[in-house]
Structure 1
Amino acid sequence: MSAFFDVAHYDGQKAVKRKVEVQVVGSQFYVLENEQRTGPFAFADVAYVTKQGDADVYGLAGHDGWRLMLSGPVPSELAALLPAPRRYGGWVDRLGLGKAVIAFALTSAAAIAVVLFSPQWLAPLIPDSVDDQLGDALVGDFGGRFCHTPAGDAALQKLVASLDDNPQDLRVEVANIDMLNAVALPGGNVILFDGLLKQARSPDEVAGVLAHEIGHVREKHVMQALLRQMGLAVVLGGVDGNSGAMVNNLLAMSYSRDAEAEADAHSMQMLGNANISPVGTASFFDRLSQLDGSEGAVKYNVEITSYLSSHPLSASRKDAFEKSIVKGKNYKPALTPSEWTELKTMCTQDRKVKSGFGFDFD
């Protein structure tokens, strides 16, 4: 038994739209035009192409340019034999747009949640060798911007050794970048920027900041932040392959409030073990807290706010360091005056170091 339906048709040979009849015979059909019949064609070879105006357009496998165009409601007998129209894509059409949007939102939220929270238990599982390789690959010689002088290196090594029991696991450098900042990076790398040394009022201030960054290393916060940042880059749009952009992103790595609190606690413990007064660190945080709104904002300073961008500060952190001060304890300076001068002027004295202006990493 046959059924006939009026449709528009392109035969794929001429760009001429024709009005034809489709004769359905079981799972096949013929195209009828002016008493001429072509076919048979199998419905299994028909594919939905697109929506054009009010017409659904279908193609035929193996016949380029061949089209059937059905306007308006498609008769149920014919619709049952044709592939279902696609509006957005296979699974979206099957679910419906509303349900698909909800499903996508839930999936995205779950993916972001995994990225945000899984680093806390993934980071300790990553071997130190992998961490070291990442550090070597991402940091290297920092584009030739690390400052070195014999006396300055000796002062820096003394400071690190006084704060940490295993200084051989760390690579602490001073970068010739005039920005008040310090960062902890993979592989036990800690970088103090020259702007931090210039703005510091004492070696005790630098000791507290350095101990804070070492705390991030020892507590595995660096790998956690790296995993989180790289994971979010993948979830939210992909990782930039440019190495300079990656380094700049690493410099802006941020940590959670819990991680910052842990690093502060580590810093206070290290300062106490080294018999270095927390007063300098509290004073440093006090100056910064005036800019984060917790101590009454004063004039803005670009160099100081650069530290705030990656190290959220508040008056409470200053208070915590003040409370760690042991009254009557005979603290000693982190460095002698001559050592402090050598460390503070190391980048000025190093004639071979490259400028860090603009972070133009190769």
Structure 2
Amino acid sequence: MECGGQGCEVCVGSACSCSSSSRRATSSSWWHTKVCCKCKEAPAQVAANQTEVLCASCLNTSLFSKFKTAINMHDLIRPSHKVLLAFSGGPSSRVALEYLLEIREKAQRDAMHSSEGSARVFGFGVAFVNESAAIPLAAFNPKVLCQELRGIVMGGHKRPDEFLNIPIDSVYSDSELDVAGAHGAVRQERLQNLLNSVTDPTGKEDLLEHLRMQALQQAARKHGYTRLVLGLSTSRIAVKVISETSKGCGFSFPAGIQYYDARWLVPVVLPLRDCVAKELVLLCHFRNLKWVFIPTLSTSTLPQRTINSLSASFVSTLQEDNPSRERTIMRTAAKLQPFSFNRATSIEGFTSKRKGTTISASNGVQDMEDTMETGRRNSNYEACSSSFHFLGEMLP
């Protein structure tokens, strides 16, 4: 079992799907007798993209191509940007870290050989949200975990500009508490009071996710970052689609599964949206990329206790019968029409159809939001309802 039986971001909670799927991909006898369908030379080691049998090198090429295509086609990262990666220690964010470092290293080489000599390279930092104040676990030492993560991020010859360790209770640091001279103990007390006031397990998980994003956004603004990269994969998004639909968030969830989301002050981008978690785990194995399992509230929750864990268990069960289910759910959700803030060019400035003038970002977004049609909203709701009507039968 890849996660040691404790759950990981591949399993998305306590329901473990990484062991069975990975074992199917690596332990079967077919790869001993077949060659890679890409290079036609090396022996096949994994079944990727549902039907392709690939070697480790071609698997890396395939995933890196998806990653870079998402960045280039959707204009997620530019040389003038300063990028912050939300690092959880798991395989998805580990692969995102490796790929961003490779892209940045190539950009630095190109800048050195540029004829102008002034080519810019995007800034890059990594942030880890320490949730020990919200989830005290005696078996794990937060300081040791943080040092281990810092070693993974900053230990190689390729490294980002900085590594940020963000306490989850830092969401209170900009409040009146700092003015009054309060310290971490008061912030932790306020955080615990907030979490204890939520009795519903699903609500507590969602609240913690919101606090995590607030902490990342706050740190990104403080250090001048202009992009926040999340390592959400197809597998995580498939579970999110099921859980958000079950919670009655069918209209709003298309905004959170796009490559670009500018609802936050620091736009959020998802370059791993087209990559399956199983393939990311295998890539970490083949390339010896070290990753760390860090327990969270979701991984310590019983499978049948929250909507999120139940949705993860449901998707895991579907995967056992048909490994393409995650991609099917993702493609179905992607058919829902995105919002105006899901296009990078429409946020950072776009050209008006009248006289070809350029409209500022703030005015442009406001104008587009003011002219959004009610018919499109209704079509999103109807499409969501028809695509996932089976949830009423499968999920209690």
Range into which the TM-score falls when normalised by the shorter chain: under 0.3
Larger Rg: 1
Greater strand fraction, Structure 1 or Structure 2: 1
Please report the TM-score for the alignment, with normalisation by the length of structure 1.
0.22
Greater RCO (Cα-Cα under 8 Å, separation 6 or more): 2
